[in-house]
Amino acid sequence: MGAFSRRRLAAVALATASALLLTTGCGGDDAADDDGTITLTVDVFGQFGYEQLYQEYMASHPGVKIVERGTGGNLDEYSPKLTQWLAAGKGAGDIVAIEEGLLVEYKANPGNFVNLLDHGAAELKGNFLDWKWNGGLTADGKHLIGLGTDVGGMAMCYRKDLFAKAGLPTDREAVAKLWPTWQDYIRVGEQFTAKKTGAAFLDAATNTFNTILLQTAGNAQGYSYYDTSDNLVVDSNPAVRQAWDTTMDIIDSGLSGKYGAWSEEWVSAFKQAKFATIACPAWMTGVIEGNAGAEASGKWDIAQVPGNGGNWGGSYLAVPKQSKHQAEAIELAKFLTSAKGQIGAFKAKGPLPSSPQALEDPAITGATNAYFSGAPVGQIFAAGAKNLKPVYMGPKNQAVRTEVENAVRTVELGQRSPDQGWTDAVSNAKKAAAK
Amino acid sequence: MSVQLDARPPVVPAATARPTRAHRLSRFDTRYSPYLYIAPFFLLFAVFGVYPLVYTFWVSLHDWDLLGSDHPFVGAENYTRLMADADFWHAVVNTLGIFVISTVPQLLAALWLANLLNRSLRARTGWRMAVLIPNVTSTAAVAIVFGVLFGREFGMVNWLLDLVGIDAVNWKSDRFASWVAISAMVDWRWTGYNALIFLAAMQAIPRDLYESAAIDGANRARQFWSITVPLLKPTIIFAVIISTIGGLQLFTEPRLFHSGTNPIRGGPLRESQTVTMYMFENAFAPHYNFGYGSAVAWLLFALIAVVAAVNVLIIRRLGGQTPGGRAAKGDLR
């Protein structure tokens, strides 16, 4: 009996202990492998075009293995995940890509990231467009969170087959002449719509709104929802109102296909050629190719954007403090954001370099894109890139932008009148900024 | 125990020490080992249940920026702000709305299915397993497929409606339509599961009750409402509580029903944003306000407790009034 009960007690103790082990024992360390090679994880979203560069880097650095996560993923899903990893102090890659809108929020707590200035990054300043370099710095200029990857120089992508069907010119020079301004663009859209091709003129009013806003704001004071002292100016900044009004004209003329940007329907609409134009920052070319698929190759082309220039999007690479291989990760980040790295990425997936050297490189200036009917993407995007007028982003830019774009969407869907929509936009933006 | 200790001789010979120790061990065994046996559950519950619950409450009392390192204590401020937050109450109404239009038909259909499955059918086990198939498919896959089916322009549901001459419905940005679509998703998944639970309970009902009812001239429907339903009362209460907990925490279906920018809002006017989605929106992107999100979580907890209690009361009342069936029939519908 004694021995029996002792065995039972032991069994219970064992079961308890193993349960505890199960609960605490997970999460082994991913330190160096047995043979001394280390694995660097790179977290990205969308298409960064780094595959070839990784191969090259691994060939010249035998002790390093590179794994990329999140390729092709949606930014809206990536951002909260990254934030959770940072908050938990665990889970983030050794290098993380950060979109400029999110970087603004991260700058408030730079302690989550390695200060690249402590690792000899200062000498790289000349490798980036000034504003791109400054974008990675905290307000006091003492902490460099990220090195710039790409910028979002703007163009207008359009489907030649639909333009031909509507009796519009298809040549990119001629198309650019159709729309020097957004009002011209609306007029062309009305002509297109009158021909009843079965397709809408543009994908979603929100995309066009954001394009117009960034362009208008860039050409005016250089800020949109927040002024440079971080005051919310959504209702007093004329640039916001002007972009809103132009977008309302677009909606009013019935040009939008109302395919919610980035939704399943939006992707289907690409496949089925349901809209003729889409505002096209450089990185969008890769998205179009991915969504419209190989069968639409040669049917798209790229023309000058209405209005003048503008920048939408672009990202940075940062090294989280939680990385166990900071030094190696910094080396890799420097390589990927070097002029050479940026050229490689551009060739693979089209993100426009933020390095002036790369922008002058014949590999960029002479680049064409076969998918877009051989459009000289180098000329179209790179030409304007050096004179891009960036737009300042305030602390809650992302949340405020979400509210205003949702208001655009409610008008587009006929749920709100333009006036109601504007009232919503302003009051919801104020609420979001206060959260 | 103490009596025995007192009775022990002052010097214990080695020979007798053994049985005494064994005896004490055995007493210890009978008295405490049951607790040890269930301890693993409580340990796990403490780690994954109680600790997060308490920690969430602690967080909800602070101004807690998810990325910040400084989290000042703000007391009940998050809660007072939340009580005045129209978007929160909007999400509560959405959640309750989706809950009602998914759970009521779901449980009625499950009851009906269980009743059918309880008859002598050919390949009975096959039918019974078949109703469970929707439940073993991944929620994410179901939600994505339904999201496409209910598309505005390319969706199959609108195409079918068009065939019978009904105008396309904007399933994702019409409040009631989106509730219906999401409820369809929930019901597709959970009706079979509840049917099997009801079926198990039905099989425990003695056959002779039905036999004597049949002799008294009660038809099938009468038997169902007068015998089956009243005797299933405890099971129905169980199913209602489980559905309440699940229904009020609905997240995956409405979240994946929407795609594109900011799907967490559940539509441009938050048409089908549930409370859990609102919690996520505040605690994570785009607000990263962990304290506020935690307050939402706690209010949701309170809400579930209240709704579950109300449900139990309603079901008890229904059962209490109706030893016969007519009232139950009317009320349950």
Residues B52 and B105 grouped into a single domain: no
Counting one residue from chain A and one from chain B, the pairs whose CB atoms sit within 8 A come to 135
Q: Would you say A116 and A144 are in contact if contact means Cβ atoms under 8 Å apart?
A: yes
Shared domain for B39 and B108, answered yes or no, is no
Select A154-312+374-434's CATH number: 3.20.20.60, 3.40.190.10, 3.40.50.300, 3.10.560.10: 3.40.190.10
> What is the residue whose two structure tokens read 């009706």?
B191
Task: Give the residue from A1, A6, A12 with the most B CB atoms within 10 Å of its CB, the best one to mutate.
Answer: A12
pLDDT of residue A77: 83
DSSP B232: T
Chain B residues in contact with A8 by the CB 8 A cut-off are 29, 33
pLDDT at A158 over 90: yes
pLDDT digits (tens, 9 = 90+) for A112-143: 999 999 999 999 999 999 999 999 999 899 99
User: Is residue B318 scored above 50 in pLDDT?
Assistant: yes
Band (B329; pLDDT cuts 50, 70, 90): very low
Site from B36, B258, B262, B270 to mutate, A interface, most A CB atoms within 10 angstroms: B262
Question: Which of B148, B269, B292 lies nearest to residue A435, judging by beta carbons?
Answer: B292
Higher pLDDT: B112 or A27? It is B112
CB contact under 8 A, A402 and B262: yes
Residue from the list B26, B67, B172 with its beta carbon closest to the beta carbon of A87 = B67
The tens digit of pLDDT for each residue in B224-266 reads 889 998 899 889 988 988 898 899 999 999 999 998 888 899 9
Asked whether this chain's domains A38-151+314-365 and A154-312+374-434 adopt the same fold, the reply is yes
> Distance (Å, rounded) from C-alpha A74 to C-alpha A261?
11
- Structure confidence at residue A24 (pLDDT): 42
What's the confidence (pLDDT) of residue A283?
87
Domain ranges of chain A: 38-151+314-365, 154-312+374-434
Nearest CA-CA partner of A108 in B149, B128, B256, B69:
B69
User: Residue A8: what pLDDT?
Assistant: 52
d(CA A113, CA A158): 40
The shortest CB-CB distance from B147 to any of A2, A112, A264 is to: A264
pLDDT classification of B320: cutoffs 50, 70, 90: low
End-to-end Cα distance, chain A:
65
Confidence (pLDDT) at B113 = 93
Is residue A93 scored above 60 in pLDDT?
yes
B170/B284 same-domain check? yes
Q: What is the pLDDT of residues B122-147, one digit of tens each?
A: 888 898 889 999 999 888 899 889 99
Residues B104 and B168 in one domain: yes
B31 and B104, same domain (yes or no): no
Chain B nearest-CA residue for A396: B287
- Contact indicator for A280, A159 with CB cutoff of 8 Å: no
Same domain, yes or no: B220 and B251: yes
Per DSSP, the three-state class of B20 is: helix
User: Residue B71 falls within a domain, yes or no?
Assistant: no
Q: Which residue of A has its CA nearest to B40?
A: A16
Beta bridge mates, A159 = A300
What is the per-residue pLDDT for A128?
A: 95
Residues of B in contact with A268 (CB under 8 A): 151, 153-154
Do B43 and A269 count as a contact with CB atoms less than 8 A apart? no
Q: Within a domain: residue B276?
A: yes
Residue-wise burial string across B153-191, b where 16 or more C-beta atoms lie within 10 A, e elsewhere: bbbebbeeeeeeeeeebbbbbbbebbbbbbbbbbbbbbb
Q: Does B70 fall in a domain?
A: no
**Chain-chain contact of B25 with A2 (C-beta, under 8 angstroms):** yes
- CB-based contact (8 Å) between B265 and chain A? yes
| Angle subtended at Cα B112 by Cα B111 and Cα B115, rounded to the nearest 5 degrees | 85
Cβ-defined contact of B265 to A410 (cutoff 8 Å): no
User: B173 contacts in A (CB within 8 Å)?
Assistant: 413, 415
Contacts of B88 in chain A (CB under 8 A): none
pTM of the prediction?
0.83
The percentage of chain A sitting over the pLDDT mark of 70, rounded to a whole number, equals 92
Within-domain flag for B154: yes
Which chain A residue is nearest to residue B291, measuring alpha carbons? A435
Q: State how many domains chain B has.
A: 2
What is the rounded distance in angstroms from the CA atom of residue B292 to the CA atom of residue B298? Answer: 10
Structure tokens at A378: 């180098």
Residue B68 falls inside a structural domain: no
Query: Is B306 inside any structural domain?
Result: yes
For residue A15, list chain B residues with Cβ-Cβ distance below 8 A.
40
Q: Provide the 10 A C-beta neighbour count for residue A316.
A: 26
Q: Do A9 and B261 touch (CB under 8 A)?
A: no
The sign one gets for the Cα dihedral B135, B136, B140, B141 is negative
Cross-chain Cβ contact A84/B286 below 8 Å: no
Mean pLDDT of A376-401: 86
Minimum mean pLDDT range among A149-158, A181-190, B28-37, B171-180: B28-37
CATH code of residue B285: 1.10.3720.10
Span A23-40, average pLDDT: 60
pLDDT for A382 equals 83
Q: In chain B, what residues touch A83 (CB-CB under 8 Å)?
A: 66-67, 284-285, 288
pLDDT band with cut points at 50, 70 and 90 for residue A72: confident
Regarding whether B153 and B294 lie in a shared domain, the answer is yes
Asked if residue B69 belongs to a domain, the reply is: no
> Is B35 an 8 Å CB contact of chain A?
no
Amino acid letter, A396: K
Residue B72 lies in a domain: no
CA nearest neighbour of A185 among A197, A168, A198, A161: A168
Tell me, what's the pLDDT at B284?
A: 86
| Beta-bridge partners for A311 | A153
Query: What is the nearest CA distance from A171 to chain B, expressed in angstroms?
Result: 31
Interface of B with A in 118-137 (CB under 8 A): none
B281 lies in the same domain as B146: yes
Nearby residues of A425 by Cβ (< 8 Å), 6 or more positions away = A234, A244, A403, A404, A407, A408
The arithmetic mean of pLDDT across residues B136-163, rounded, is 91
pLDDT band at A38 (very low <50, low <70, confident <90, very high): very high
| B195/B85 same-domain check | yes
Nearest CA in chain B to A268: B154
Is A402 close to B152, i.e. CB distance below 8 A? no
pLDDT at B30: 86
Which whole number is the average pLDDT over B267-288?
Answer: 92
B287 touches chain A (CB under 8 A): yes
Question: Which of B25, B269, B284 lies nearest to residue A84, judging by beta carbons?
Answer: B284
Q: What is the pLDDT of residue A76?
A: 81
One domain for residues B36 and B120? no
Sign of the CA dihedral with A376 first, then A381, A382, and A383 last: positive
pLDDT of A230 higher than 80: yes
Residue-wise DSSP of B261-309: S-GGGSSTT-TT--HHHHHHHHHSTTT-BHHHHHHHHHHHHHHHHHHHH
Q: Position of tokens 């650095």?
A: A61
Q: Which residues span the domain enclosing B132?
A: 80-332
pLDDT-derived band at A34, boundaries 50, 70, 90: low
Residues 149-168 of chain B whose Cβ lies under 8 A from any Cβ of chain A = 151-154
What whole-number distance in Å separates Cα of residue A427 and Cα of residue A435?
Answer: 13
Residues A221 and A391: beta-carbon distance below 8 Å? no
Amino acid A376: pLDDT:
94
In angstroms, the separation between the Cα of residue B10 and the nearest Cα of chain A is 23
DSSP code of residue B165: T
pLDDT at A288: 93
Shortest distance between the Cα of A259 and any Cα of chain B, in A, equals: 9
Cβ neighbours of B46 in A, within 8 Å: none
Distance between CA atoms of residues B184 and B102, nearest Å? 7
Question: pLDDT band at residue A32, thresholds of 50, 70 and 90?
Answer: low
Rounded alpha-carbon distances, angstroms, from residue A272 to A193, A200, A267, A276, B57: 17, 12, 9, 11, 50
CA distances from A82 to A173, A337, B303 (A): 42, 20, 31
Lowest mean pLDDT among A48-57, A88-97, A102-111: A102-111
* Least Cα separation, residue A274 to chain B (angstroms): 10
Instruction: Tell if the CB–CB gap between B285 and A409 is shorter than 8 Å.
Output: no
Of A80, A266, A409, the CB nearest to B285: A80
CA distance A205 to chain B (A): 13
pLDDT at position A6 over 60: no
| Residue B131 C-alpha, separation from nearest chain A C-alpha, in angstroms | 29
Q: Which residues contact A33 (CB under 8 A, 6 or more apart)?
A: A39
Confidence of residue A46 (pLDDT cuts 50, 70, 90): confident
The mean per-residue pLDDT over the stretch A29-55 comes to 83
Which B-chain residues 40-59 have CB contacts (< 8 A) with chain A? 40, 43-44, 47-48
Chain A positions in Cβ-Cβ contact with residue B43 (cut-off 8 Å): 16, 19-20, 23
Whether pLDDT at A208 is above 60? yes
B327, burial (CB in 10 Å: exposed 0-12, middle 13-18, buried 19+): middle
Q: Give the domain A38-151+314-365 fold.
A: D-Maltodextrin-Binding Protein; domain 2 (3.40.190)
What pLDDT does A195 receive?
Answer: 95
What's the pLDDT tens digit per position in A257-297?
999 998 889 999 999 999 999 999 988 998 899 899 999 99
**Residue B289, strand partner residues:** B65
Are residues B84 and B43 part of one domain?
no
Check whether residue B114 and residue B17 sit in a common domain: no
| pLDDT: which is higher, A157 or A80 | A157
Residue A62 pLDDT exceeds 80 = yes
Q: What pLDDT band is residue A3 in, cutting at 50, 70 and 90?
A: very low
Which residue in chain A has the smallest CA separation from B270? Answer: A406
Cis peptide before B286 (omega within 30 of 0): yes
